[in-house]
Structure 1
Amino acid sequence: MQPSAIRSAIADAARAVVLPEGVGKLTATGYVPDAVVAPHFFCGEYSVDFDRAMNRGLDEVELTCRVLVGRADDRSAQDVLDRLLAGSGPTSLKAAIEAARGAPGGYALGGLAHDLHVTRIQGYRWYEHAGTQYVGAEFIIKIIGEG
């Protein structure tokens, strides 16, 4: 699996969320950006467990992604973040990302991986990015594919 292609495909999938009117559109990158236009989703840390099956048959990736929301108003920013963290629905990042799993029996991320699953959300807190404070959280995504 190619890390940059995987991260880019995850960011593409994240852009499918539909935020409430007046919030703006979610921006997303497959890399850690110098600066963000909030709300913003990006792929960060990428770790790989090699050789989960013999002869380079399967690698397992754990991808840590972050979503950051501007803090024009503490309460409304956290409301937008909560919508993005929902387990289902049009604003759910989990649902948007897992939609990229493809059809049953098919490959995920347009053929880049065997499967993926958003396993957890963590780190709901204030983040500083490029000198600006945002409320945000981390998504942990498990991805499996050929070695």
Structure 2
Amino acid sequence: MQISLIRDAVADAARAVVLPSGIAKLTSTGYVPDSVVAPHFFVAEVEVTYDKTFGRGTDELEFTTRVLVGRADDRSAQRILDGLLSGSGPSSLKAAIEAARGAPGELALGGLADDLHVMRVQGYRWYEHEGTTYVGAELMIKVIGDGSS
């Protein structure tokens, strides 16, 4: 699997969320940006486990992704974040990203991976990014695919 292509495909999938009327559209990048336009989702760190199956058959990538929401009003910012972290619904990052798994029998992320799974949310807290404080959280995403490509 090509890590950069996977990062970009996860970010593309996240853009499918639909936020409530009056809230800015989610921006998304496959890399840690210098600055963000909130609300913003990005793919940050990656851990790679090689050789999950014999002979370079399958590798596993575990991405730490982050979503940051502006905090002009602490309560409304946390409500927006809660919607993004919900397990289902139009603003659910989990639902949007897992929709990129494709139909049964299809490869995930447009053919880049065998499968993916948004495993958990962690680190719900205040984040500082380039001198600005945001409320945010991390989503952990596991991607499995061909180790020889």
Give the TM bin, normalised by the shorter chain: over 0.9
For 1:3, give the aligned amino acid. I
- State TM-score, norm by structure 1: 0.99
- Find the residue that maps to 2:38 and give its secondary structure: coil
1:134 aligns with 2:138: no
Deviations 1:109-143 (A, max 9, x none): 00000000000000000000011000000000010
- State TM-score, norm by structure 2: 0.98
- Find the residue that maps to 1:16 and give its secondary structure: coil
How big is the shift at 1:63?
0.4
Q: Who is 2:145 aligned against? A: 145
Map residues 37-48 of structure 1 onto 2, 5 A cutoff: 37-48=37-48
Q: CA RMSD in A?
A: 0.4
Identity of aligned residues (%): 73
Q: Distance in 1 between matches of 2:73 and 2:3?
A: 36
Q: Who is 1:122 aligned against? A: 122
* Contiguous gaps of at least 5 residues in structure 1: none
Map residues 26-45 of structure 1 onto 2, 5 A cutoff: 26-45=26-45
Q: Who is 2:64 aligned against? A: 64
Q: Who is 1:8 aligned against? A: 8
- Where has structure 1 moved over 2 Å in runs of 4 or more? none
How big is the shift at 1:17?
0.2
Q: Distance in 1 between matches of 2:24 and 2:70?
A: 11
